[in-house]
Amino acid sequence: MIDIHSHLLWNVDDGPATLEESIHLLEKAVNEGITGIIATSHFQHPLYSVNFNQVQDMVKVLQIEIEKNNIPLKIYTGHEARLSPNVTQLYKSFQLHTLANSNYVLLELPSYAVPLYTFHIVQELLKEGITPIIAHPEKNNEIYENPTLLEKLVRTGALAQITAGSLTGYFGRRVQKFSLDLVKANLIHTYGSDVHNLSKRPFLFKEGLAFLEKKKQLDVVDLVLENNYRVINNMPILST
Ligand code: FE
């Protein structure tokens, strides 16, 4: 299984603090059944921004550790790009990592709102051949108040990624219930752990999928896992 959203690089954002902690996360990923994982450190977040070369260099270091410790896992470069008016420009000037060098980018909206210019950015990226994947829409307050906004973004050409912990109830009952609503409305295409560390923001990767199974969403489990695989292989996404 492939995880397309994770904070694995140490001491650069709110992910692991040390290289040792990063390695523990990689070992834990294997326990969760993950075989490939994209490192999506924050980019242009109000508090954190990890630059292009730093991601590349640190992923290389982790790949060497993986081989040294015989961890059966592949790690890919990526970014979790915060929405900003210049995000397309940043992509064009090779400052923003796509997901595993594909034509997909992970796009994070502000927590409370969906700015009107989001639609323009989605169109602009699509024009460049890049499909934005909206990170954890289930945690966005404005989408919660008005789910039509996500439907409109998807109709514009964006995709959506749901977070494992949202499904397990880790972020509360409200987020859990809304996550299932979005899944049932066929507005979710991909799946990610958004892991930050082992204590406060763990993987919950298997648990999130188990929740979907319990809710009889077996087709969705297959779909999101297939699509995650398609992202790293730069193949077209299947929709429901
Ligand atoms: Fe994240």
Domain containing 82 equals: 2-232
| Cα(230) to centroid(ligand 1), Å | 20
239 domain-assigned: no
| Cα(217) to centroid(ligand 1), Å | 24
Q: Which two tokens stand for residue 115?
A: 């700015």
Q: First vs last Cα of the chain: how many Å apart?
A: 19
Record the pTM.
0.97
pLDDT (tens, 9 = 90+) of the chain, 240 residues, equals: 999 999 999 999 999 999 999 999 999 999 999 999 999 999 999 999 999 999 999 999 999 999 999 999 999 999 999 999 999 999 999 999 999 999 999 999 998 999 999 999 999 999 999 999 999 999 999 999 999 999 999 999 999 999 999 999 999 999 999 999 999 999 999 999 999 998 999 999 999 999 999 999 999 999 999 999 999 999 999 987
70 in helix, strand or coil? coil
**What's residue 86's pLDDT?**
97
| Cα(53) to centroid(ligand 1), Å | 19
**What's residue 26's pLDDT?**
97
155 domain-assigned: yes
| Cα(8) to centroid(ligand 1), Å | 10
- C-alpha to C-alpha distance for 18 and 41, rounded to whole angstroms: 14
238 domain-assigned: no
Q: Tell me, what CATH number does 95's domain have?
A: 3.20.20.140
184 domain-assigned: yes
Per the structure, the count of domains in the chain is 1
| Cα(86) to centroid(ligand 1), Å | 20
Interhelix angle 19-31/52-68, rounded to 10 degrees, is 60
173 domain-assigned: yes
**What's residue 111's pLDDT?**
87
| Cα(193) to centroid(ligand 1), Å | 8
188 domain-assigned: yes
Contacts of 116 (CB under 8 A, 6+ apart): none
Greatest Cα pair distance in the chain = 48
237 domain-assigned: no
**What's residue 239's pLDDT?**
82
What Cα–Cα distance (Å) separates residue 161 from each residue in 42, 66, 86, 138, 226?
16, 26, 22, 9, 13
